[in-house]
Chains A and B, each alone.
Chain A
Amino acid sequence: MNALTKISNFLMTPAMKMVMIVAALLFPFVASNEYQIYVMALAFVWAIAVYGMNIITGLCGQLNLAHGGFFAIGAYTLAILTVDHGWAFWPAFIAAGAVGALLGFLVGVISLRLKEHYFAIFTLCVGFIIYLLLDKWEELTHGALGIINIPAPSGFGLVDFTETTPFYYLALAFMVLSIWLASRIAHSLLGRTFLAIRISDDLAASLGINLMRNKVLAFVLSTTYASVAGALYAGMVRFIGPAEAEVTHTFDMITYLLVGGIGTLMGPLLGTLAITWLTQSLQFLEEYRMIVFGPMLVVLVIFFPKGVVGSFLAWRGRRLAAAHDANTAKQAAVSKTSTDKTPATSTQEAGNHA
């Protein structure tokens, strides 16, 4: 067993998750300035939304291009309830998730009757309708001005979430919760059902899976994730505008998902963190980052459609399979020597090298 195998085995163990959580907990102490903590917290908030997208697009195979719109719906619900109606943060936060789920249900019931391209185009249009409504419906959304002075999450007098570091831990907690939930879903019968639908609609239906009900469920789960992330975002940034619903946010999230590994558990997190920090280091490119990301998307889907995590899992799978083959070959060789009583060092060696 060489070092590479050991490392790859370690990455798969539960201890690795502990290492990651400890690293995340320690990050504010090693960060060189507050800005880095802020960027990291923002990346966590986006990662929650990307996990939502992973459920409908990664597990269930439906490319939802309205995801950024639902993110904005969560942010606006929170902002409107707290600023215009004087709600406290946490009730408004729960309401934001509920509104995201409800609207997701309504949109899902209509849009999921469509398949593949039709679904993608339809959701693209839904995203645009959301943007236009946020921009034009001034009585409700304050129009193009956006909403300012959104309260930060209330810490019940114990912590002050207007500070960056406490908010960082809040975002971290929500993200860990989201990943845990996503992992429970992915490993449950429900997750397997979604996977079956992704692989083939017709085969899934022939297994007795209710396509519509499961797709709508996946869609509602994903929009709830998106709107919860949006609500957290509003509580963090404290001002929002119609630009939150722009389709570029959806495309950003697709990039995160694709880089990390679509349909994998840790992919969305890794992709979001990697691209966020890449963007930070390419700050001079901020407006033109798509010059890099556009071709990167194309290259990824052509050459590495599984992303970082997916490629790693595939590579590990191949190695394990090869090791397994070598082992069986070795055993076969050993049993052969014991019956034939002939020296078989050469075959054994070949087995070791394979």
Chain B
Amino acid sequence: MELFFQQVLNGLTLGSIYGLVALGLTLVYGILHVPNFAHGALYMVGAYVSYITMVDFGVNYWVAMLLAAVAVAVLAVLCERLVFNPLRDAPPIHDKIAAIGIMLFLEALVQMQWGAEFRRMPTPYTEILDIAGMTIPAQRVLIIAGAFSLMAVLHLFLKKTMTGSTIVAMAQNREGAFLVGIDANRVAMMTFAISGALAAVGATLFAPINLVYPAMGHLLIMKAFVIIILGGMGSIPGAIVGGLIIGFAEAFGGFYISTDYKDIIAFALLVVILSIKPTGLFSKGVH
């Protein structure tokens, strides 16, 4: 039973990080209908910014996280301005190829600068908590709490503030949003900034129990895509629920079936679900 709860905890940890990364991806998709293949690279850059500021400059963990969020947000906005905005009217295949180009570039750049070796990110929260007979590393608690509070903040921002509403409005109906005077450029830049910041925070939270290396975003971005397909592309609750589904499936699958094939579970799940229901689990209407 204790092992079972341990897996619940693992699933929750994985799921909350997956959810956070998928949220950024789904926000961008909702606004611009661009599947941003470069999102995993932004996540990776976020991890490196935190790592470098913490290890080389001795900055505090939380300050490093903030710096990473700002740096990646700026990078994401640059991508939007320089690449996705000029491609707004291009055929959809061009956006995807451009996003792949950005991803390849960022990875090669980081690898040239800092090498391909695996690094361990330090964290101030190394103690092991003991709650009701279960041993829980503090960092995991931080991940779950951090991810869910960030999701709550994002939810409040989108629902309660005027700026947040412009994003929701644009995702719901582009022409309608233009009619009521919403500036598409501003919303697009803001959405990219938020998605970049979410990726950087996710990376800084997750990296201490994982590793930092140039290809760290690969698997994660593919899982994030699986999640937003499951949850319906552009849907925010879908991203969170989908993240938890994949997180739990991996934790339990890895434990009860096979650790070797743990990473395949998400993709197998996608293949099965899309074979039965080509529009995803929670999607509304047709695509």
User: Which A residues lie at the B interface, using CB under 8 A?
Assistant: 57, 61, 63, 110-111, 113-118, 120-122, 124-126, 128-129, 132-133, 136, 247-248, 251, 254, 258, 287-291, 293-298, 301-302, 305
Contacts of A254 in B (CB 8 A): 97, 100
> How many chain B residues have a CB neighbour from A under 8 Å?
45
| Residue pair B287, A115 in contact (C-beta under 8 Å) | yes
Check if B176 is an interface residue, CB within 8 A of chain A: no
Question: B98 touching A110 by the CB < 8 A rule?
Answer: no
Interface membership of chain B positions 45-64, coded 1 if the CB is closer than 8 angstroms to chain A and 0 otherwise: 00000000000000000000
Partner of B96, one of A111, A117, A287, A294: A117
Least Cβ–Cβ distance between A345 and chain B, in angstroms: 45
Main secondary structure of the interface of B (DSSP, over half): helix
Which residues of chain B are within 8 angstroms of A132 by Cβ–Cβ distance? 261, 263-264, 267
- Given A132-B261, A136-B260, check contact A297 B107 (CB 8 Å): no
Cβ A290 vs Cβ B105 within 8 A: yes
Enumerate chain B interface residues (CB-CB to A < 8 A). Answer: 29, 33, 35, 83, 86-87, 90-94, 96-98, 100-109, 111-112, 218-219, 222, 225-226, 229, 233, 260-261, 263-264, 267-268, 270-271, 274-275, 278, 287
Whole-angstrom distance between the Cβ of B159 and the nearest chain A Cβ: 27
CB-defined A-B contacts under 8 Å, sample of 14: A63-B93, A114-B274, A114-B278, A117-B233, A124-B225, A125-B222, A125-B225, A251-B100, A290-B105, A291-B112, A297-B98, A298-B83, A302-B98, A305-B90
**Is the pair A297, B264 in contact by a Cβ cutoff of 8 Å?**
no
B98 touching A121 by the CB < 8 A rule? no
Q: Is the CB of A129 within 8 A of B83?
A: no
B264:A129 contact, CB within 8 angstroms = yes
Contact B86 A258 (CB under 8 A): no
CA distance A129 to B93 in the complex (A): 23
Closest to A291 in B: B108
Contact A110 B112, CB 8 Å, known A125-B226, A128-B267, A294-B103: no
Is the Cβ of B100 less than 8 Å from the Cβ of A297? yes
A305 touches B270 (CB 8 A): no
Instruction: Report the separation of the CA atoms of residues A302 and B264 in the bound assembly, to the nearest whole angstrom.
Output: 35
Name the residue on B nearest A121 (C-beta).
B225
Q: Which of A63, A122, A251 contacts B104 (CB 8 A)?
A: A251
